[in-house]
Amino acid sequence: MQAALKREWVSVADYLAGEEGGETKHDYLGGWIYAMAGATTAHNLIAMNLAFAARSHLKGRPCRVFLSDVKVRLQIAGEHIFYYPDVMVGCDPRDTHSQYLRYPKVLVEVSSESTERLDRGEKRLHYQTVETLEDYAIVAQDRPEVTLFRRGNNWTPERFAQLDQDVVLTSIGLSLSLSAIYEGVLQGRA
């Protein structure tokens, strides 16, 4: 994990006020804020491919799709935690805050070499505490690989690494091939 950006404790209200309109995004873990790394073009394309497919699939339904500028808010053992998932789908009418969701149905992290351990460890464990979460996907940005964790499968990881394989987000009924997820990313790679 990265070192805390500030050495003094920050309240949730001060954190949210600082994030609104701020140029740099920060995760928040129990009063400590952590600056997020910038994204690559591959990261951005993968996240957009997933978000656009989900948005198109869910058109006319009460679900909303968000890219990495909206946070998920968790509370674990009395501590407030905020992360910025790369893609998030929320369908719960209780989610009315303009900066975050508490009740997401799908969370996706596009993982790099520097974030993979955090995405597979701490974030996975924290995300699995969300009562409404059904699907959590970790999408590698440096190779065609998706690891999917489903509540309905007791969070057992399912790995997809062939471009003709379909990843199915059962909670929203979306089936998407790895080739569609990585469209525009893998061209020109040896």
Q: Rounded to an integer, what distance in angstroms lies between the CA atom of residue 147 and that of residue 141? A: 12
**Residue 21 CB burial class (10 angstroms; 0-12, 13-18, ≥19):** exposed
The reply to whether 111 falls in a domain is: yes
Nearest to 74 by CA among 36, 127, 136: 127
What's the pLDDT at 4? Answer: 44
CA distances from 156 to 110, 124, 153 (A): 19, 11, 6
Domain-embedded: residue 190:
no
CA distance 42 to 102: 28
* Helix intervals (H) in 11-40: 12-19
pLDDT over 70 percentage in the chain: 94
User: Is pLDDT larger for residue 19 or for residue 151?
Assistant: 151
Domain that holds residue 60: 40-70+84-181
In a domain, 32, yes or no: no
Where on the phi/psi map is residue 168: left (φ > 0), alpha (ψ -120 to 50), or beta?
A: beta
For the ranges 2-6, 8-12, 31-35, 175-179, the lowest mean pLDDT is seen at 2-6
With respect to residue 44, please indicate whether it lies within any of the assigned structural domains.
yes
**Is residue 157 a part of any domain in this protein?**
yes
Residue 134 in any domain: the answer is: yes
* Per-residue model confidence as pLDDT tens digits over 129-143: 999 999 999 999 999
**DSSP tally for the chain: helices H, then strands E:** 5, 13
Q: Within a domain: residue 47?
A: yes
Task: Give CA–CA dist 58/79, Å, rounded.
Answer: 33
Within a domain: residue 28?
Answer: no
pTM of the model: 0.91
97-147 pLDDT, tens per residue? 999 999 999 999 999 888 899 899 999 999 999 999 999 999 999 999 999
Of how many residues is the chain composed? 190
Domain count, the chain: 1
Confidence of residue 2 (pLDDT cuts 50, 70, 90): very low
| CATH code of residue 50 | 3.90.1570.10
Return the structure tokens found at 5.
């950006």
Angle, CA of 159, 111 and 133, to the nearest 5°? 65
